[in-house]
Amino acid sequence: MQFSKFGQKFTQKSGILQLMDDLGNALASDQPINMLGGGNPAKIAAVNENYQRVLEKIVAENQAIDSIANYSTPQGDSVFIQTLADFFRAEYGWDVQPENIALTNGSQNAFFYLFNLFGGEFDSGNKKILLPLAPEYIGYADAHISGSHFLAVRPEIERVQHNNQAGFFKYRVDFDALAQLPEWERGEIGAICCSRPTNPTGNVLTDKEMAQLDALAQKHGVPLIIDNAYGAPFPNIIHTDNTLIWHDNIVLCFSLSKIGLPSARTGIVLANKEIIKAISSLNAIINLSPTRFGAAIATPMLQDGSLKDLSDNVIRPFYAEQAEYAISLLQQEFKDYPLAIHQPEGAIFLWLWFENLPISTNELYEILKQRGTLIIPSELFFVGLDTADYRHAHECIRMSIAGDKTVLQQGISTIGEVVRGLYDQ
C-alpha cells in the first residue's frame, strides 16, 4: 500500500507514538510493570470522589446525556467557555471575553493547530517555532505537517541546592544565544513556545525569564505560546512563586488532563480573537466540534470553586510529597554515584542526569523495559537541537512520580541496580 507524503510522515516511528504504545501495552499487560514512564496523572481518591459526585449529579439532571447527544459549536461548549471567561476576569483581572477562548480535543490537538498556523510554509518562505529552553515536551516534535519545524538552543546548566542539599541542577534560558539567532534577521521564526512548568524537567521559568521572552516575542512581532498544562490555576502543580501573564500577543494553553481527566480530551486555548477564529475553523474541518464531556464535568466545579480548591489543596500537595519521597529513594540508591536531579519545581516528573553514563539513555530505556520498569529517555526531548555531539542530551531520563509508593520503590530500585552496574563496569 502506498501512502502520501502526509501519510508517510504520520505513520513513521515517533517518540510520542513509542511513549503512548508502551503506556497502553503496559496497562494491558498481565505482567507487573513499574510505570515510571508516560504522563498519566495519579488517581487521587479525593479528586475522584469529587468527579463521582459531579457525574452523579449531571446524570440525575440529564445533563450528561445532553453533553454527549449534541454537538457544540466548532469553538466549543458555550457554557464552559463563558464560565472560563468569567473565571479569568475574576481571578486575574484580564479582559477576557468568550471570543478569546476555544476548546480542542486535548492540548495535543491545540498544539498541532498552533504549530501549523505559525510554522511551516508561508508566502515569504518557511518559518519555525522557537523553543527557548531545551529539553521540551516530546509531543511537540512531530506535530507539524511538513518540513523542519522547530528551533532550539542549548540550555545553561546551573548547579543548585534543594532543601539545603547538593546534587541538584537547574536549566536556564540562554538569552544571549536566543538574541543572536540568525533566523530572526531572516524572518524565519513564526512563534516562541515554552511549557511552564516544563515537561519533562519540572523546570519553572522565572517571572523575569517570562518577561524577557514576552519582550522578545513582541519585538519581533511573533506570538508567545505558553503550554500551561501543569500550571496555574489548574492543576497548579507548581511549587515556586510565579505570575501568570496574558495579553493579545500571548497564547495560553490549558488542559483538563492533569487534574485527573486525561481521557476527556479537553484543551483550552486563550488568545486574541483572530487566533480563536482560526482554531474554530480548524475544529470544524478536522473534528466538526470539540468533545463536550470534559466541559460538562468542569463547568460546575469551576463555578462552585471546587476545581481550584482541589488543585491548590489536594493535587499540588500530593505531587510535592511524591517528589520528595522519590528524591529520598533516589539519594539512597545513588549515594556515591553521579546522579544530579533537576530542581523539582512542578509537573509530575523528575528529570535525572547520569553524568558520563557509559551508554545512551535510549539503550538504558530498553534494558529497563526488559526489567519491567518504564522510563522515557532524554534523546526524545531535545526537540529542535542537533544532539549528535551533545553528550548531556543522551544522559538523562524522565521519571513519572504519579505512581503509588510501591511503584516508586520498585521502579527506582531497578533503575538503581541497573545504572550502578553500568558505572561499576
What confidence tens digit (pLDDT) does each residue in 186-204 have?
A: 999 999 999 999 999 999 9
CATH architecture assigned to 72-304: 3-Layer(aba) Sandwich (3.40)
Phi-psi region for residue 3, left (φ > 0), alpha (ψ -120 to 50) or beta? beta
**Which fold does the domain 5-47+309-424 belong to in CATH?**
Aspartate Aminotransferase; domain 2 (3.40.640)
Instruction: Outline where DSSP puts E strands in 256-321.
Output: 267-270
Residues 6+ apart with CB under 8 A from 302: 80, 83, 84, 87, 308
Phi-psi region for residue 187, left (φ > 0), alpha (ψ -120 to 50) or beta? left
Residues 6+ apart with CB under 8 A from 294: 256, 261, 264, 265, 266
Beta bridge partners of 250: 224
Beta bridge partners of 254: 268
Residues of the chain with confidence (pLDDT) below 50: none
The one-character DSSP state at 76 is B
Residue 288 has φ and ψ, to the nearest 5°, of: 70, -60
The one-character DSSP state at 311 is I
Q: Rounded CA gap, 288 and 398, in Å?
A: 35
The one-character DSSP state at 74 is T
Q: Rounded CA gap, 384 and 366, in Å?
A: 24
3-state secondary structure of 168: strand
| Residue 390 one-letter amino acid | Y
Looking at residue 2, its pLDDT comes to 83
Question: CATH 3.40.640.10 residue ranges in the chain?
Answer: 5-47+309-424, 72-304
Q: Are 242 and 207 in contact (CB under 8 A)?
A: yes
| Sign for the pseudo-dihedral over CA of 302, 304, 305, 307 | negative
C-alpha cell at 116: 501549523
